[in-house]
Structure 1
C-alpha cells in the first residue's frame, strides 16, 4: 500500500515539475523571441508598438487605443504599420526615410515638427522594431473622467465618424504645408475611381484638385475620363490648416449648360428674324432686343443696350419720326398709356403709317411674370400688294358693271364666284351678296321660273356638268314679258363656267312687216358678202340693229366669294 502511494506521489510531482518547466520555457521564448525584453505595463502612458518586419506582434494598451482610433477613422488601408505611418507622417518630417536608417543606426529619436510635443523613439532589437510614441506634455497622470462623460464623448466621436463616412460631400483637411492629412470616405472613393488602379492610394493622399482649389467659394472640375464632374467648393481655414468641402453639382452644371445653349439658340434665332423684338420687364425697362429692331427703327444699339424705359424708347422713336404723329402732345401721351394697357391685356395691334411711306405692323403681347413683348414687322410690301390687288379687283368689278350684258361665273362646285350689276337688274337678285345663295342650281331654277318653257335650260345643265374647258354654247330664251335673251355659255379653265345674257331686238309690228319683206335676204346668204350670212349682220344692213339703252354703272364693292 505504501509502495503504491509513493509511486503516485512520484508521478504527480514529476508532472508538476514538467509543467513548470514548460511554462518557464514559454515565458523565456516569449521574452526573447517576441517581446525582446518588453513586458506590457497596465500603467504605461506611452504608445509602444513592436513589429517583426511589417507585422505587428505586440503593443501597449495606449498603443492599442491609438491604433483602434486610426483603424476606425480610415478606410484607405488595413495594414497596421502603414496605418500607423500614415498617422504619424504629418507630424514627423521624413519619417519613412529616417526609419529606413534604423537598421544601420540601431536607435533614432524624432521630434514632431507641429509643436504637439510628441517624440518618436525607434529601436532595433533582435530582429524586432520597437516604436515608442512619447507625449512630453503629459503630466504623468491620466485625465479623470466619469463613465457617463466618457460614454458621451465616445458616442459623439462615433457619430462624427459616421457623418464623415456617409456624407456624399467630399471633405479633406490640409495642414499648413498644403498636404492632405485627412479625407473622408467620399473623397477616397472618388480618388479611387479617378485613379482607376494606376497608382493606388498612397500617403499623403493625393490632392484631386491640385492647382485649382480656390481660397474660399468656387467651382472645381475633375476629368473622370468618360465625363467631367463638377463640384461646388468651400473652405474653412484655422490656425492648423484648412478644411475643404466639395459638393457634387453635375446636375446644376448640366442645367446651366442646357439653359446657356438654349439662350444661344434663341439669340441666333432672334438675330435672324426679320421681325423686330423688344422685351420689357415688369419695371418696363428694355431687357432683350434683336438686330431687326435696330434695322427697322434706326435706334442706336448702345442706347438699347443701356436698358432704357418703355416711354424713353417711344420718345426716341418719336424724335426719329418712326411713330405716327398725332396732332397734339397730350393726345400722344395718352396713346402711350393706352398702348401699354392694351399690350398688358394682349389686345394691342396697330399699323403705323410713317412719313417715309413705310408701314409697320406693331403688336404687343403679355409675357409670364408681367413682362411685355413688342413686335415690329415691316408690312409695306404686303400692304402695297394688298392695295394693288384691291384696286385691281375694284377695277375688274367696275369694268364688269360697265358692260351692257349680264355676266355671272360659277366655280367647279357650282358656287357663284362673281356677277355684275346688270345681272342683278336682269334677274332681280345679287347672288354675291346673298349668303343663302345655292349657286348654279338656284340660278337655273330662277331662270326657268322667269322664262318661257324651253329645253335650253336642260341642255345648259348638261353642258355645265360635262363640257370640256374651252367649249361654248349659244342659245336664246324668252322672258315672261316677251323679251328675247341671247345666252352665251363658256367653260373656262379650272372648270369655271361663265354665262352672258344679252337682250335681243324688240320687234314692233312695223319691224315684223319689214322683216317679212326681207325674209329672203335674211334666209338666203350672199355668197359674195359672207358677213351678210349672219342674222345680226343682215339686220344691221337693213336698219334692224338693236339700239342699246344708256345705263348708269353702279359699284357695289367687292363681289368675290371664296
Structure 2
C-alpha cells in the first residue's frame, strides 16, 4: 500500500473543493432578473414616443409620454381603454390583442395627421408592445404593410368615377387618376401629354376647398363639358377634384328658357298677375298688372310686401275703399289666408266705374298668386242683357193674351202676367221644373174635356214638320178661349190663350155645336 503524505492529502482536498464549486456554478439556474426580463418601454432616452406594454389584455408598463395619454398602468388600464383613446387618430387599431399575437406585427396608419404617423403593434415573447411613432424612419418590416396600403389607395383612386389630379405651383400636373387621364384623351385625343393642365389657372386662382365651375371644349369646339372643380392646397402644389355637372348646367339652361317663355306668355296676358313668395314679397308680375292697377313699375320692381301692395292699391283708389281702416289689416290677413287655400274670389267695383274680378290661388312652397281681370265690359253687357230681359218681360206682361213658351224638352221657359192670372199658377215660384205635362194638367182641370191638350203635348215633342195651328177650348165657367200654337226658333213652342167674344147664353142657343171643337192642326 502506498503511503500518502499529509501534503498530498491537502492538495487532493483542494482539488475536490474546486471541482465541487465549479459543478455548483454550472448547474445553478439563471438569475431571476434574467428570467423575468421583459421588453422595456422606450422611455430611457432612446426615444420620446409613447410606448405601451401589455400582458394579455392588461397594461403592465408605459413610457412617460404614454402615461400622459392613457394614465398610469397601476390604475387597471386595459387594451380596450387604450383602443378607445386611440380610435380618433387610429381608426384601424386592433380590437383585440389576439389579432396582434396572430399577425406578430401590425402597422396601423394615422388619420389626417401631419406628419403622418403609425401605431406599431408587436408580439414579443408573450408581451404586446404598442409604439406610437410620428414620422419615424421606415424599417424593412414596415414595407409590406405600407405596400399593401399603397396598393389599396391606388386601386381606390383609379376606380373613382370622378377625375382627381395633383398640380405643382407652376400649374403642371404631377399625378392623376384613371378618370382624369380618360377625360384628357376624350378632349385632346389619345396621344396627349397629361402633364399639360386640362383645367388651367387653378394654382393661382383657386380658393381652398371652394368649388369653381369651369368649362372645357371637346372635338374642336363641337360641344362643351362643364365641371365643378375643388382644390385642396398641399405643400408644393394642390390636390384637385372635378365633378361632372353637365346635367346640372343643362337643367339650369332649360329652367332659364322656361322662365323666359313664361315671362313672354305672362307679358301677353290681359289678366294682371302678382305672385308673392312665402315671405309675402312680390316675386313676379306681368305688364298687365301695371296697366290694370296703374302702379309704377319701379314700385313693383322693388318687390314690395303684400300689405304695402294692397295699401298702395287703396291709396290710388284701385280697390274698394274700406269703411273702417282699423279692420283693414285684419281683412288683408283674412284675404291672404283665403287666397292660400284657393277660396278667395271677389268682384271689385271701383270709383272710376270699372269692375275687376280678383282671385287668389295657392302656389308651391307657400307662395300666393293674385289674378286681376277687368270684367267691366262683361258686367256692362250682362247688365244690359238683364235690362233687355226685364224690358221684354214687362212688354209681355202688358199684353192681354196669356203666353207660355216651352223649350224642345217641354220645359216652361217663359210666361207673362196674363198667363198667371188666367190659370192661377206662377211657375217662377216652383222649385221644380214646370213642364208641358204640368201645364196641360192644370189647363185640363179648369176646362171642359177636349182632345186639344193631348194634341198640344205631342206637338211640343215633335221636332220637324211643324206649323201653326189653332183650337178653341172652353173653361168650366163657360168662357171661351182661343188657343194658338206657334212653333218658334230652335224647336221651342209658344202657346197663347185669348178670350173670345162668345158668352154662355149664346153658346147654349147654338144648335148642334160641339163644345170646344178644335181646328185640326195643319197637315194632320
TM-score range, shorter chain: 0.5 to 0.7
Say which SS state the counterpart of residue 335 (structure 2) adopts: helix
2:286 is the counterpart of 1:290: yes
1:215 alignment counterpart:
206
| From 265, 269, 276, the counterpart of 1:269 | 265
Distance 1:495 1:211, change over 3 A: same
After TM superposition, list the pairs within 5 Å mapping 1:394-405 onto structure 2: 394-405=390-401
Provide Cα deviations, 1:286-307, integer angstroms capped at 9, x if missing partner.
Answer: 1111111111101111111111
Provide the C-alpha distance between the structure 2 equivalents of 1:161 and 1:434, rounded to a whole number of angstroms. Answer: 91
Distance 1:502 1:340, change over 3 A: same
Deviation at 1:317, TM superposition (A): 1.2
1:302 alignment counterpart:
298
Give yes or no for contact 2:478–2:504 (8 Å, CA) kept in 1: no
Distance 1:405 1:372, change over 3 A: same
2:374 is the counterpart of 1:378: yes
Provide Cα deviations, 1:469-508, integer angstroms capped at 9, x if missing partner.
Answer: 7721112100111111111111112111001011122537
2:477 is the counterpart of 1:481: yes
Provide Cα deviations, 1:84-143, integer angstroms capped at 9, x if missing partner.
Answer: xxxxxxxxxxxxxxxxxxxxxxxxxxxxxxxxxxxxxxxxxxxxxxxxxxxxxxxxxxx9
Distance 1:470 1:249, change over 3 A: same
2:123 alignment counterpart:
none
Provide the C-alpha distance between the structure 1 equivalents of 2:244 and 2:338, rounded to a whole number of angstroms. Answer: 48
1:153 alignment counterpart:
146
2:252 alignment counterpart:
256
Deviation at 1:465, TM superposition (A): 4.2
Distance 1:489 1:467, change over 3 A: farther
- In structure 1, runs of 5+ residues without a counterpart are 1-142, 517-562
Provide the C-alpha distance between the structure 1 equivalents of 2:417 and 2:450, rounded to a whole number of angstroms. Answer: 26
2:155 alignment counterpart:
162
Deviation at 1:239, TM superposition (A): 4.5
| From 457, 460, 464, the counterpart of 1:464 | 460
Deviation at 1:147, TM superposition (A): 4.7
Off by >4 Å, runs of 4+ in structure 1: 210-214, 465-470
Provide the C-alpha distance between the structure 2 equivalents of 1:281 and 1:363, rounded to a whole number of angstroms. Answer: 16
Give yes or no for contact 1:410–1:440 (8 Å, CA) kept in 2: yes
RMSD of aligned residue pairs (Cα, Å): 2.7
Distance 1:463 1:337, change over 3 A: closer
Give yes or no for contact 2:486–2:495 (8 Å, CA) kept in 1: yes
Distance 1:406 1:167, change over 3 A: same
Using the size of structure 2 for normalisation, the TM-score is 0.65
After TM superposition, list the pairs within 5 Å mapping 1:346-425 onto structure 2: 346-425=342-421
Provide Cα deviations, 1:391-448, integer angstroms capped at 9, x if missing partner.
Answer: 1111112221221111111111212111112212222223344243451233223322
Provide the C-alpha distance between the structure 2 equivalents of 1:460 and 1:210, rounded to a whole number of angstroms. Answer: 96
Provide the C-alpha distance between the structure 1 equivalents of 2:215 and 2:463, rounded to a whole number of angstroms. Answer: 80
Say which SS state the counterpart of residue 360 (structure 1) adopts: strand
Provide the C-alpha distance between the structure 2 equivalents of 1:445 and 1:326, rounded to a whole number of angstroms. Answer: 54
Provide the C-alpha distance between the structure 1 equivalents of 2:233 and 2:217, rounded to a whole number of angstroms. Answer: 27
Give yes or no for contact 2:171–2:201 (8 Å, CA) kept in 1: no
Say which SS state the counterpart of residue 226 (structure 2) adopts: strand
2:335 is the counterpart of 1:342: no
Provide the C-alpha distance between the structure 2 equivalents of 1:368 and 1:447, rounded to a whole number of angstroms. Answer: 61
Give yes or no for contact 1:277–1:373 (8 Å, CA) kept in 2: yes
2:182 alignment counterpart:
189
Give yes or no for contact 1:412–1:495 (8 Å, CA) kept in 2: yes
Give yes or no for contact 1:174–1:181 (8 Å, CA) kept in 2: yes
Deviation at 1:256, TM superposition (A): 1.9
2:195 is the counterpart of 1:205: yes
Provide the C-alpha distance between the structure 1 equivalents of 2:428 and 2:451, rounded to a whole number of angstroms. Answer: 27
Say which SS state the counterpart of residue 277 (structure 1) adopts: strand
| From 168, 172, 192, the counterpart of 1:179 | 172
Distance 1:437 1:287, change over 3 A: closer
Using the size of structure 1 for normalisation, the TM-score is 0.61
2:228 is the counterpart of 1:237: no
Distance 1:469 1:392, change over 3 A: farther
- In structure 2, runs of 5+ residues without a counterpart are 1-135, 511-524
Give yes or no for contact 1:469–1:492 (8 Å, CA) kept in 2: no
Give yes or no for contact 1:469–1:493 (8 Å, CA) kept in 2: no
